[in-house]
Amino acid sequence: MPERSYDVVLYGASGFVGKQTVQYFARYATAESVRWAIAGRNRQKLEAVRDQVGVTVDVLVADSQDQQAIDVIVSQTRVVLSTAGPFALYGNALADACVRFKTHYVDITGETPWVRTLIDRYHAQAALDGTRIIPCCGFDSVPSDLGTYLIVRHIQQALHLPCQQVVAYFQATGGFNGGTLASAFNLYDAQGLKQMSEPFLLNPSSNQSQSQIERNRDPQLPSFDPDLNTWIAPFFMAPVNTRIVRRSCALFEEWQEPYGAADFAYQEYLKLDEPLAGLKAVGLTTGFALLMGALQQSALRSLIQPILPQPGDGPSEQTMNEGWFSCEVVGTASDGRKVRGMIRDQGDPGNRATVKFVCESALSLALQIDELPGGLSRGGILTPATGLGSVLAERLRRAGMTIAIPLE
């Protein structure tokens, strides 16, 4: 890659999550001598963020719809980190420029129908050029994807067996961002829900049999899990995360680095603790189903939307500091033996953890490109596991996250 002015440009730096990426880079990237800049559509807002954080970095301005201005930014950097969402609205020109200028890219989208459009438009070219375009590097879907990758590789290396299945169990507390709600509403408005329900939406090819599709449908009901000895319920992020994990599995298969058995399966759930775990599981599942049903009515959506947090809003500092998540991963080897692991961190998953995930993803690309899985030639619309793998896991550990796979 010819010399460029910046290692990383933080696009969307004036947003609720964007500001936190600026704080993160100010704290950690400067120490690693990373050349970085902030970018977005509004110079005044960006300069205010820069001054609030107290860093001396360049401010680059381009509206997401202005392809020429976006091109100027993307051509000057080795890596783009974008937090400007809804990505289906603000992400197209940026992704297009990254592919043309061979600039690596990470973001925090969970909008899988949009990721599907990236795969259709750009995977072949980015793969040819060795450009890593890696969406879903936030809370969706790093723990699911990296947790599965690490447990599968452990089973292969320590037990010398293929992996049959992985199940992840999530627990989390935190807040909701207005930007996240805006992205969800945009998905509803664009009729993206039906597409999101396809279990293999992000796989390279759609040659799965009907029985495979049925086996991998999203769980709809709560149940008692005898292995965990507690109740579990459908996890609302699973329709995003499971598609990413299945894409990782399929890409590794294509590259002859398979995850395991031909019918390797991945699912994830919300885990409920006693007391009243069963009641909580039923209550949450029913409440969520009712909410989803209500939101499908556009009239109800327009009634509810104004009273919810708006773009630019998010939880308080206290809520973000007191939040946390845990992701328990259980892998089953082909002989039935189970291996357990855990990814866990303090801080609101949608903000603190997401910022750590995406910033360390960008830093993996900027600082350790030659150590990433697949070598310098790997490219395409990748996933956290296929594009960043153990390098990201190690960086997250150094950044204070618990990644214990296997559990000692």
Residue ranges binding ligand NAP (CB under 6 A): 12, 14-18, 40-42, 45, 63-65, 83-87, 90, 108, 110, 138-140, 177-180, 183, 311-312, 314, 350, 354
DSSP one-letter string for 179-233: HHHHHHHHHHHTT-HHHHT-TTTTSS-----HHHHHHTSPP-S-EEETTTTEEEE
Task: For the CB of residue 17, give the shortest distance to ligand NAP in the complex, in Å.
Answer: 4
Nearer Cβ to ligand NAP (28/176): 176
Stated as kind and residue range, the H or E segment containing 81 is: strand 77-82
Nearer Cβ to ligand NAP (339/403): 403
Nearer Cβ to ligand NAP (21/165): 21
Task: For the CB of residue 3, give the shortest distance to ligand NAP in the complex, in Å.
Answer: 27
Long-range CB contact pairs, 29-32, < 8 A, 24+: 29/359, 29/363, 30/55, 32/363, 32/367
DSSP code at position 368? -
Task: For the CB of residue 128, give the shortest distance to ligand NAP in the complex, in Å.
Answer: 28
Task: For the CB of residue 359, give the shortest distance to ligand NAP in the complex, in Å.
Answer: 13
Nearer Cβ to ligand NAP (162/312): 312
* Backbone phi, psi, residue 64, to 5°: -65, -20
Nearer Cβ to ligand NAP (96/253): 96
Strand 6-11 with 36-40, pairing: parallel
Task: For the CB of residue 91, give the shortest distance to ligand NAP in the complex, in Å.
Answer: 9
> Measured between alpha carbons, how far is 27 from 19 in angstroms, rounded to an integer?
13
In this structure, the dihedral spanned by the alpha carbons of residues 12, 72, 357 and 217, taken in order and rounded to 10 degrees, is 90
Nearer Cβ to ligand NAP (90/252): 90
> Measured between alpha carbons, how far is 110 from 183 in angstroms, rounded to an integer?
8
Task: For the CB of residue 19, give the shortest distance to ligand NAP in the complex, in Å.
Answer: 8
Residue among 64, 62, 54, 55 nearest 35 (CA): 55
